[in-house]
């Protein structure tokens, strides 16, 4: 799985499989789902990211369930236990 954030295009693409997309469907305005030859979801694209999530900091990415070796890298880290929880 690979996530690509393109700030210039104001979009992100989540590649879910190594298989090549052969068909696409815009399931909602600005949200495109790509399908492989077996009609499985191969990827998801979201356009106009800054409008859809204006408070999102695309320089930070927290992942749950990431193995420790991957999480230890400087680019990917596991979500802190209190991330996203209300304060006090």
Residue ranges covered by each domain of the chain? 2-53, 57-88
- Tens of pLDDT, residue by residue over 16-65, are 988 889 999 999 999 999 999 999 999 999 999 888 888 777 777 666 66
- Tens of pLDDT, residue by residue over 2-20, are 888 888 999 999 999 888 8
Which H or E run contains 14? Answer: strand 11-15
DSSP characters over 29-58: TTEEEEE-TTS-EEEEEEE-HHHH-TT--T
């Amino acid at each position: 799985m690979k996530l690509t954030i393109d700030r210039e295009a104001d979009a992100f693409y989540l590649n879910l499989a190594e298989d090549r997309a052969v068909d696409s469907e815009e399931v909602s305005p600005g949200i495109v789902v790509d399908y492989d030859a077996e009609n499985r979801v191969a990827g998801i694209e979201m356009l106009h990211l800054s409008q859809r999530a204006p408070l999102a900091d695309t320089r930070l990415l927290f992942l749950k369930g990431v193995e420790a070796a991957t999480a230890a890298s400087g680019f990917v880290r596991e979500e802190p236990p209190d991330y996203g929880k209300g304060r006090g």
